[in-house]
Chains A and B, each alone.
Chain A
C-alpha cells in the first residue's frame, strides 16, 4: 500500500522543539505524514497542535529558537533537512514547494503595486529561470532577462485571469489595500501556482474570510489543484473546511498525529477517541453539545505516551507508557491508538 516511491512527500518521525523561557517545548513529537502526487492532504487540529510548525518545517522556515531533534522530511526522494540551505532556497522553497499564508492582509508589502511584487517573485522563482542565472547578491543586481520577463508577464496575466481577478491589466497597477481579503487570497493562490510547484502548503488560507468568500476560494483552490495535478497540504482547524477540499485527512493533537484516513472514511468511521470527540463537539442540530473535558497540555512538560491520555475516557496503563504505533485498519485508514473506537458514527 505504501511503496515509498509513490509519495511526493514523506515526513518520518519528525521531532521539533522550541527553546522557551520555561524550557524546551516539544512541539512536534514523532510526526509521520505522507502526501501523494496530486492529492489534497488535510492537516487538522486545534490551535497549538503543531500543524503550523509542521508546515514551516517542510518549508524550512522554522523560527530561530526551533531545534530539529530527529526525523526526516523526504521530498521527491531527497531529505530536505540534510540538503544544503542554498539548494533549498534555489530549488525547493518558493519553487517546488510554495506557500499560501493565513493572513491575506499581511502578505503583501503595502507600498508597492501588486504587479511589481509578483514580478519580483517571478524574477527569482519563475519556472523559466535558467540554471545559469546568478543567485544571491549578484542576482539582486543583475537584470531580469528581457525574454524571460516578457514570458513571465504573460504567464502572470494568464494566471490572474485563472484565479478570476477582475480586469488583470489594471489590477497589477493597484496597491494591496485596494483589494478585498478574498481578492488578496486569490492573488496569493496565483502567486503560489505561478512557479509551477509540485506541492503547495496552504496554512489556514480561508480562516480570515467570510463564509461565502471562503466557499468561493475553496472551490477555486480545489479546481486549480486538480487541473494541474498539484499536491496541497491544507492545514485547518475547521473540520467542515477539511471535508470540503481534502482527499485525505490527518488529525494532530498536541504535536502528535493520531489518525489518517481518506476523507469520507474519516468522517464515517473515525477511530481515534480524540477524532471522535472533536467531531462530537461540532454544533449539529438535534444533538446535544459535548465538549472534550480538560485542556490542551503544556508542551514543555507534556504527558508521556499518547499525549491525549489524560483527557481520554478509554485510556489505559499502556497509553501512559508508550505511544501506540501506526496501525493500518484497511482502505488507507491508519490510527495510533490501543483502544480505537470501532463502529461509532457521531454525526
Chain B
C-alpha cells in the first residue's frame, strides 16, 4: 500500500505521466457515469430523423449524426464499450500469457521451448490480420472482438515474462531460495512473479492503448459491435460518406480514440520510468 502511494507520488511528479493518468481516470469516470453525464441519454439509440447532421451547438455539443443521435452522448456511452473491450481483452491476454511465460521461462526444456514456439507462431501473423480473420469467421459482435484481441495479444505478455524470468533465474536470491530447499511453486509465485510485476504493469498499460486502437480499427471495418451500438471506430466509418461537410461527425470519435490511446501510452511510459529500478537514480554519491 505504501509502495503504491509512493509510485503514485512519483507518477504525479512527471507532467506527461500525470496527464496520462488523468486521461485514463477520466475515461473510467465517463464510462461509469455515462447515463448521468450524457446530455441526451435517450438520443443515443433512437432515431430522430428531424435532427440529422446538426453541427455542434449548445444543445448538441458535438453535433448529431445521420440518425439524429447526439454525438456527445454516443461518445460517452462508447467509452463503456471501449473500456470493456480493452479490460476484458487485455485481462484475458494476461491470464493466458503470464502463466505461459512463467512456465516457459522457468523450465528451459522441450516443454518451455514448445510453448515459446507456439507464441512465436502467433506473433508471426500481424495482429490486425489475425483479428480480422477471427472476427470475420465468428461474425461481428463485441464478444468476438474481445476473443480476437486476447487471442492475438497474449504472446506479447508471454515473451516479456519469459525474458524477465530467464534473467531472474540467474539472480543470486533465486539460486539461494533453491539452495534453501524452497519448493518451485513457492519460488515462482512468491519470488519470481512479484519481481516481474513492474514490466507486466507497464506492458498492460501500453497494451490497453494498443488494444483500443485495434478494436477501433476492427469497428471501422465493420467487424465490431453491430449498429446502433455507439462504437467509436464504427462511428468514424459511418461518418465517411458525410465528409467533409459534417466534419464534426468523424472528429469527435477520432479525438476520443486519439486521447485515450495517448493517455494509456503516456501512463505506460511514466510507469516504466517509475518502476524500472535500472533507471532509478542511485542514492548518496561517493
Contact B285 A65 (CB under 8 A): yes
Number of interface residues of A (CB under 8 A): 18
A21 to B286, CA, bound (A): 13
| Chain A 1-39: CB-based contact to B (< 8 A → 1; otherwise 0) | 000000000000000001111100101000000000000
A interface: dominant SS: loop
Contact B281 A25 (CB under 8 A): no
A59 to B281, CA, bound (A): 25
B interface: dominant SS: loop
Q: When A and B form their complex, what is the total count of cross-chain residue pairs whose Cβ atoms lie within 8 Å?
A: 26
A300 to B283, CA, bound (A): 11
| Chain B 260-286: CB-based contact to A (< 8 A → 1; otherwise 0) | 000000000000000000000101111
Q: Which residues of B contact A22 (CB under 8 A)?
A: 283-284
Contact A20 B283 (CB under 8 A): yes
Q: Which residues of B contact A66 (CB under 8 A)?
A: 285
A52 to B286, CA, bound (A): 8
A18 to B285, CA, bound (A): 6
Number of interface residues of B (CB under 8 A): 5
A53 to B285, CA, bound (A): 10
A299 to B281, CA, bound (A): 17
Closest to A298 in B: B284
Closest to A16 in B: B285
A20 to B284, CA, bound (A): 6
A66 to B282, CA, bound (A): 14
Closest to A20 in B: B284
A66 to B284, CA, bound (A): 12
Please provide the chain A residues from 43 to 60 with a CB less than 8 Å away from any CB of chain B in the complex: 47-48, 50, 52-53
Contact B284 A53 (CB under 8 A): no
Contact A53 B281 (CB under 8 A): no
* Closest chain A CB from B231 CB (angstroms): 47
A50 to B281, CA, bound (A): 20
A334 to B224, CA, bound (A): 84
Q: Which residues of B contact A138 (CB under 8 A)?
A: none
A47 to B285, CA, bound (A): 12
Contact A53 B286 (CB under 8 A): yes
Contact A63 B283 (CB under 8 A): no
* Closest chain B CB from A23 CB (angstroms): 9
Closest to B281 in A: A21
A48 to B285, CA, bound (A): 9
A271 to B286, CA, bound (A): 27
Contact A27 B286 (CB under 8 A): yes
A299 to B285, CA, bound (A): 9
Q: Which residues of B contact A47 (CB under 8 A)?
A: 286
Q: Which residues of B contact A53 (CB under 8 A)?
A: 286
Q: Which residues of B contact A299 (CB under 8 A)?
A: 284
Q: Contacting B284 at CB < 8 Å: which of A25, A50, A52?
A: A25
A30 to B270, CA, bound (A): 42
Q: Which residues of A contact B283 (CB under 8 A)?
A: 20-22
Q: Which residues of A contact B286 (CB under 8 A)?
A: 18, 27, 47-48, 50, 52-53
A20 to B281, CA, bound (A): 9
Q: Which residues of B contact A52 (CB under 8 A)?
A: 286
Q: Which residues of B contact A18 (CB under 8 A)?
A: 284-286
A269 to B283, CA, bound (A): 38
* Closest chain A CB from B45 CB (angstroms): 55
A275 to B198, CA, bound (A): 46
A50 to B286, CA, bound (A): 7
| Chain A 105-142: CB-based contact to B (< 8 A → 1; otherwise 0) | 00000000000000000000000000000000000000
* Closest chain B CB from A286 CB (angstroms): 36
* Closest chain A CB from B277 CB (angstroms): 15
| Chain A 277-308: CB-based contact to B (< 8 A → 1; otherwise 0) | 00000000000000000000011100000000
Contact B285 A27 (CB under 8 A): yes
Please provide the chain B residues from 230 to 286 with a CB less than 8 Å away from any CB of chain A in the complex: 281, 283-286
A66 to B286, CA, bound (A): 10
Q: Which residues of A contact B284 (CB under 8 A)?
A: 18, 20, 22, 25, 298-300
* Closest chain B CB from A242 CB (angstroms): 20
A347 to B71, CA, bound (A): 89
* Closest chain B CB from A312 CB (angstroms): 23
Q: Which residues of A contact B281 (CB under 8 A)?
A: 21
* Closest chain B CB from A300 CB (angstroms): 6
Closest to B282 in A: A20
Given A19-B285, A21-B283, A25-B284, 11 more contacts at CB 8 Å?
A18-B284, A18-B286, A20-B283, A20-B284, A22-B284, A25-B285, A27-B285, A53-B286, A66-B285, A298-B284, A300-B284
Q: Which residues of B approach A to under 8 Å, CB–CB?
A: 281, 283-286
Q: Which residues of A approach B to under 8 Å, CB–CB?
A: 18-22, 25, 27, 47-48, 50, 52-53, 63, 65-66, 298-300
Top 6 A-B pairs, shortest CB-CB distance: A18-B285, A25-B284, A20-B284, A25-B285, A20-B285, A48-B286
5 interchain pairs (CB within 8 A)? A22-B284, A27-B286, A47-B286, A48-B286, A63-B285
